[in-house]
Amino acid sequence: MAQLFHSSAVIFWSRENRVPVRVYGTMFFKRQKEASLASAREIVPHISKLIHPKSVVDIGCGTGAWLSVFKENGVDDILGVDGDYVDRRILLIPQEQFVPFDLRKRLTIDRQFDLAVSLEVAEHLPPACAETFVESLTMLASVILFSAATPGQTKTGGVHLNEQWPAYWAEKFRRKGFVAVDCIRKLVWRNENVAWWYARNLLVFVKADALEDFPLLQAEHAVTNVSQISVVHPKLLLAWCDLENLPLRRLLWLLKKVLCRITIRMARKVIAKTVQWQGKT
């Protein structure tokens, strides 16, 4: 593999399958930890009231922040899965409850869990892996707590490979027999302790033929409008509108976009004039 650049998420290019591979460093996970813990401590009690899980698996668990909060709430049967690049020394869960795995591949675990969790992970995988990733989740549990970054959520380091609106993921889960339940976002939308990306993107997917086993989720599903699940959080909107305080990388990204559009327009004008001139001659 050839290394492209250094950052908290080091990027390699795989010659085997010609896709970029992210290797996330310790600093990447340390920056995520506090927001994850604070958000989890607000959200986990809500999901626990809805389904009372006794076992939880987290795919793309990072340091295991969310799983550690599930343990705080009485769930001891946990399992975290993420790349082998995760530094075991910074895990917030016991090392024996962590399994290294390449998330681009189909994951098979010979057991079922009450709840599968995957939060802000799917966008880090190539688009070609989306179907496989969703299938892996649906094989693990009848209830899935899921969120993934949406278009424009970040342009600060090229880390996101597949930013999509929630409707994109809802359709992929639907094909696997799962329905979307929008039951958490309204409870935490204005909660300052919850990171806005969770408040905006978090959905529950439930296996359709198991929905009646969860009366509270069934009631929430009845009032979920899948056509309206793609929304923008005010904090993200304000962040993009506040050009004076945008991070340097975002400003450079915007500048690149503007320059590209100007270049394309100028090129089209030159081509049009050239064609016009050639027509006259």
Output the CA torsion 93→109→117→133 (10° steps): 130
Q: Place domain 25-233 in its CATH homologous superfamily.
A: Vaccinia Virus protein VP39 (3.40.50.150)
Residue 40 CA to chain centroid, in angstroms?
Answer: 15
The pLDDT value recorded for residue 7 is 34
Cα distances (angstroms) measured from residue 259 to each of 9, 139, 242, 248, 252: 27, 45, 20, 16, 10
Q: Is the per-residue pLDDT at 247 higher than 80?
A: no
Domain ranges of the chain: 25-233, 242-280
Q: For 74-90, what is each residue's pLDDT tens digit?
A: 999 999 999 998 999 99
Contact assessment for residue 159 and residue 22, using Cβ atoms and an 8 Å cutoff: yes
Q: Over the chain, what is the mean pLDDT?
A: 83
Q: For 32-62, what is each residue's pLDDT tens digit?
A: 788 899 999 999 999 999 999 999 999 999 9
Residue type, 97: Q
Q: What are phi and psi of 84, to 5 degrees?
A: -70, -10
